[in-house]
Structure formats: structure tokens, C-alpha cells
Structure 1
Amino acid sequence: MYDPQIGIISVLYFEKGLSQQEIAIRLGVSKMTVSRVLQRAKDLGVVKIQISKPFELHEELEKAIQAKFGTKKVYVVNPHRSEEDATALLGNFFAFQINTNLLNNTILGIGVGKTIAKIADCLLPMKTKNIEIVQLLGGLTNVVKENPFSIVQEFCRKLGAKGTYVASPAAVEDSAWRDQILYQTSNGVTLLEKWKECEQALFGIGVLDGGTLLSPSLVTDEEMREIREKGGIGDILGHVFDANGRFLQTNLEKRLVSIPIDTLLKIPERIAIGGGVLKAKAIKGLLRTGIVTTLVTDAKCAQYVIK
């Protein structure tokens, strides 16, 4: 049955721009009645709200990657311009996702990379409740935006969150030193427990040439030769993998201060983010590991991934 009140209040509020208080006075009803009628208008479809989001997703490529690799969730972001930088595009996109979807009472593990740093840079400050950001691997040797320590600091500042940090470089001298840091210090024991409690892990996808972690400052020439000889094509959180989706046992792995792969696998949502054509081969190898539950990439890279 037609209810004229719903139509009148909807037009006055959404088309004429009157406030709920002004409508209540005009119609001689309470402001609460106006609020209830507006909600009923939405429920009945009298009012349909359409938001033009700032990012366009390529659903066909998303479905193609899901079908080929079995990835639970895929975001393929279309660039606004053909020459748009993938790091800026994906960083802005996922910062938008966090600002609009982040739930309170969450422990979020954060990794390394230029795109992860861009996300931190693009986040809008927001009030949250009981959010904790956990660093997933040690720091780099220089203080830059891509340093995991700096990224976690920025996430905490923007989200008003508590931070748990790794008080160590990402790669130390040897396995004995690594084990001492992780298993025989209070910071290490706390980290191991926090890593197990993470509900989400967000990390970048590194490539051998020009990667954030696999650089001369942390990886020796001899280790890089070993990685190449074993077929390594990329890394996540310092863990190197090959084109067939196998994580490699290398000397770097033995001295890496990073969340272990078996612990990472137990985190419910594992979000890998990276784009650009140069990362397509590494992304394919990473998807074959089965460790990624959510992939975020750009359309041009996605086209190469499914070839």
C-alpha cells in the first residue's frame, strides 16, 4: 500500500536538502519518526543510494586468476591512466580498503615493500578500538619509508593502534644469532606469540632485481648466486620461492629474522600486494605456493599472470 509520508520525506531530505529537524517541524512529527521513515525508504527500495567509488576493478581478470590458481579473493585494479604507477595505484586502493573495512579488535601483521609503505602513507587517520599492528620481519639497514619499522609506526599513528616491533635487522650474521633473537629474548618470545595471534597478514611481493629486501645491504653476492642457481624468482618477507611455488632453503633463510612460513600459513587472511609487469612472473610463482588467500594487483600485471 502506498505511503505518501515515505515519498514526501524522501524528496524533502534527499532532493530538497532539508535536515531531519526541518522536515520534522514542517510535517509536525518527531525527528525520530523522520529517521525511521528514511530508513524504511531505503529498506523498501524507494531510495537507492549509489556511490561512485574512486577505483574500478576488473572482474573478468579477477575471476580468471581465481579459477587458475584457486585464490580465495582477488582484486585487480584498473589504472586511471595507462601510464599510472602501479605502486601508487595499489597503495591508494588498499589504503581505501583499510579505511572502509578495518574491524576493531583486530591484530594485523605488516610486512615490507614500497607498496606497503605507500598504503601507510595514503591511510587517513581514523579512530579505532583495540587494533594492534605487528611487524612481521626485522628492519632494513637504512631508515626509509620502506623499512618495516617505519611502516608499522605509520600504521599505528594513522589508526591509533598499538605496535609490536622487531628489535633486530631482517638478516643477522647466522642461524645461531637468529635463534637467539627469536627464542631466547623477551622481544622474540613476544613476537612468536603475536605472530600466532594475527588474523591478517599484509605483505609485498619482492623480485630478485630491485627488491626491497633482496638487496646488497642485506644479501651477499654469494647468497644471491645461490638463490639464482636454485631457481629463485621472488620473495615475501624475505622467504624466497621459485617459479613452481616452492620455498627455497638457502643460507639467507637460515639467518632471516622473519615470521616462519608455517606460522604465516596459519594466519586466516594472507594478503599479498604487488603490481607492474616486472612482478608478473614472481606473482605466478607466489600464487602456486598456496600461501596467498587475497591477491591485490593491477590489470596490466594480471593479464601477464594468466597468460
Structure 2
Amino acid sequence: MTPPRQSDALRAAQLYYLQDLTMDAIARELRTSRSTVSRLLSAARDSGLVQIQIRSPLDTGPELESMIRAEYKVDVHVVPVVDTLNEAETLDRVAMQAARTIGPLVDSNAIIGVAWGSTLSAVSRHLTRKITHDSVIVQLNGAGNMQTTGITYASDIMRRFGSAYGARVEQFPVPAFFDHAATKTAMWNERSVQRILELQSRMSIAIFGVGSVDADYPSHVYAGGYLDEDDLDVLANSDVVGDVATVFFRADGSSDGITLNERSTGPDLAQLRQVRRRICVVSGASKINGLRGALAAGLATDLILDEASARRLVRFDGPA
């Protein structure tokens, strides 16, 4: 929205939701038509100026959020999802909530790191437009593999984030994994690569999902030809439960000695923990082991997940 339209939408929303005026009364006060007021209220909801919450006595979301917050020390949004939805439909609901949560956190002069993957692809499709100035979207990890450059897949995600926030997009044109750790070391000394790494070092927000080998809705890194059988054997022998931006970890959050990380182009987990706001989006209870590992590693400050996953995360069976 343009600033004048945003101001009108905010004023209409305040009159409607806080002062209980009718649309006709708001139209008279704003000297416009009732249909325009209706459009302003819709714009206020779509842009995140208004967020409607329904609190049912049977709703376990707040209790789950409180339990997760206490146990894992993260800000959390539990998305209510009925059991009849499949994994793709659940992902779409979670992605919609994630997009609404991310929007208000993005400001001008921000450097926002974005990982690619099935979850972030879904989130990017639900972003609402918010104009910022001098902001940058930087890709967190390379996307090339033995079958494709990965440029189209990753760039579509980055482009949607850039378009939503009026931000410059900086892609990371390297493979997801180098064949040899020495090749990565050499590339990391190249000035073109160092420019991206320097941007990543100044991120104020990082947005990512959690990859998991066992997920019912496969993570793109495991389903997209990025890992061969030898790589998967290495992960199994290292007790890996998941990854963030193609950097792997165990159930206890440790990542030392996982040789595949030496070839990965994702950010070092210690570096990621230095980012002020780290938004983790997870959909699907089958990713729970990967999520627990990511939380044990201290990778998230904010967590958005579906209700079934939240229940499994804290082993919650329902109201007493």
C-alpha cells in the first residue's frame, strides 16, 4: 500500500475494530463510500495491520505456546490445523502465518538472510507487500547440484522476498555442496564470494526451515538430487537428524565432526546464532527430530509451527 492508503486503512480499522463503528458511519467520517471502507478493511487485514485471533475454550494453542516458550526460550506461534488436512495443505497454512509474522519484523536498512527449500518457497508465496528502503535479501546457501544449477529454484524464492519488501536481492551462485572441502576453502577466498559472506555476517534477520531425512513431505535438499547414497550414509553414521540451510546437526544440537558440513555452503551454526532475529518455520510432525535438534543447537529465536508438531515437540496430549 502507498503511505496515504495505509493511513486510511489504519484509520478505518481503528474505527471498525476498536470503536465498533459501522461501515456506513466510517464512510461518513472518512467522506468516502461504504465499498471503499470495505476494501480498506480488507487491505488492513491482508497487510497485517489487523490480525484477528479467535480464542476458544477448547483451543490448546496458547497453552502449547506457553509450554514451548518455557522449555525452549523462543517466541512461538502455533498454527491451528485440523487433522483432516494433508502435509501440503498444512504447510500452506503454516506458510501463511509465517508470512504474516515476518512482515512486521522487516524494516528499512535491514539485511535479511533467506534459506531456500520447500518451506521457504511456500512462505514466499504468501508475503504481503511492505515498502522498505535500502534493505537487502541475501541467499544463505548455494543451490547448485549435480543435476541443475539450482538458480531458478532459489532465485524465485529470493525474488518474491525482494519484491515483497522492495529490497535488493543478493544471490549466492555456488553449489549447495562442494565435492571437496579444499575447493570451498579456495572459493571462500574469492572477492565475489567474500562480498556475500560479508553481507551474511551483518544480517539482522535470518529466515529458514528445518530439513529432515525422515519427513513425509521431503525437504528439497534430500529430494532434489543434492545428496548421493554415500552422502546419506555419512549422515546416518554421524547420527544427523536434520539441517538448517544445508548445515547438519545431531539431536543434541552438536555439529562437530560432521564431515559434510566442511563442504556445505550454508552459514556456520555459530555464526547463525549471532543473528539477532532467527525465524524458524516448520510444518509436519515428521520433522520433529530435526526441529528438536535445531532448538537444542539454539538456532531459533522465533518459531512458527503447526499444532500437531507443537504437540509432539512438548509431548502434549491435551487439556487435563
Into which bin does the TM-score normalised by the smaller protein fall? 0.7 to 0.9
Report the secondary structure of 1:75's partner residue: strand
Equivalent-residue separation in structure 2 for 1:245 and 1:14 (angstroms): 53
Match of 1:115 among 109, 113, 119: 119
Alignment RMSD: 2.9
Report the secondary structure of 2:136's partner residue: strand
Tell me, yes or no, if structure 1 residue 212 matches structure 2 residue 225.
no
Tell me, yes or no, if structure 1 residue 290 matches structure 2 residue 298.
yes
Matches within 5 A, 1:203-282: 203-209=208-214, 210-215=218-223, 217-282=225-290
Q: Which runs of 5+ in 2 are unaligned?
A: 1-18, 33-48, 316-320
Equivalent-residue separation in structure 2 for 1:287 and 1:156 (angstroms): 28
Matches within 5 A, 1:1-150: 16-20=25-29, 52-53=52-53, 58-69=61-72, 71-79=73-81, 82-83=84-85, 85-141=89-145, 142=148, 147-150=153-156
Alpha-carbon shift at residue 282 of structure 1 (Å): 1.5
Which structure's CA Rg is the greater one? 1
Kindly provide the CA deviation profile for residues 104-147 of structure 1, in whole angstroms up to 9, marking residues without a partner as x. 22111001221111111111233222221010000144477993
Percent identity among equivalent residues? 21
Q: Is the 8 A contact 2:143 2:151 kept in 1?
A: no
Matched with 1:176 is 182
Count of residues in Structure 1 that have an aligned counterpart in Structure 2? 271
Report the secondary structure of 2:95's partner residue: helix
Distance 1:255 1:143, change over 3 A: closer
Alpha-carbon shift at residue 20 of structure 1 (Å): 3.7
Equivalent-residue separation in structure 2 for 1:208 and 1:289 (angstroms): 18
Q: Is the 8 A contact 2:119 2:282 kept in 1?
A: yes
Q: Is the 8 A contact 2:115 2:209 kept in 1?
A: yes
Distance 1:246 1:150, change over 3 A: same
Match of 1:151 among 148, 157, 164: 157
Matched with 1:27 is none
Distance 1:223 1:82, change over 3 A: same
Alpha-carbon shift at residue 227 of structure 1 (Å): 1.0
Alpha-carbon shift at residue 266 of structure 1 (Å): 1.0
Kindly provide the CA deviation profile for residues 236-266 of structure 1, in whole angstroms up to 9, marking residues without a partner as x. 1111111122124333211111212221111
Equivalent-residue separation in structure 1 for 2:297 and 2:50 (angstroms): 39
Report the secondary structure of 1:137's partner residue: coil
Report the secondary structure of 2:287's partner residue: helix
Distance 1:134 1:292, change over 3 A: same
Q: Is the 8 A contact 1:223 1:250 kept in 2?
A: no
Report the secondary structure of 1:247's partner residue: coil
Matched with 2:43 is none
Tell me, yes or no, if structure 1 residue 198 matches structure 2 residue 203.
yes
Q: Is the 8 A contact 1:140 1:213 kept in 2?
A: no
Q: Which runs of 5+ in 1 are unaligned?
A: 1-9, 24-48
Letter in 2 for 1:218: Y
Distance 1:157 1:57, change over 3 A: farther
Distance 1:299 1:16, change over 3 A: same
Q: Is the 8 A contact 1:164 1:191 kept in 2?
A: yes
Distance 1:96 1:299, change over 3 A: same
Equivalent-residue separation in structure 2 for 1:130 and 1:58 (angstroms): 37
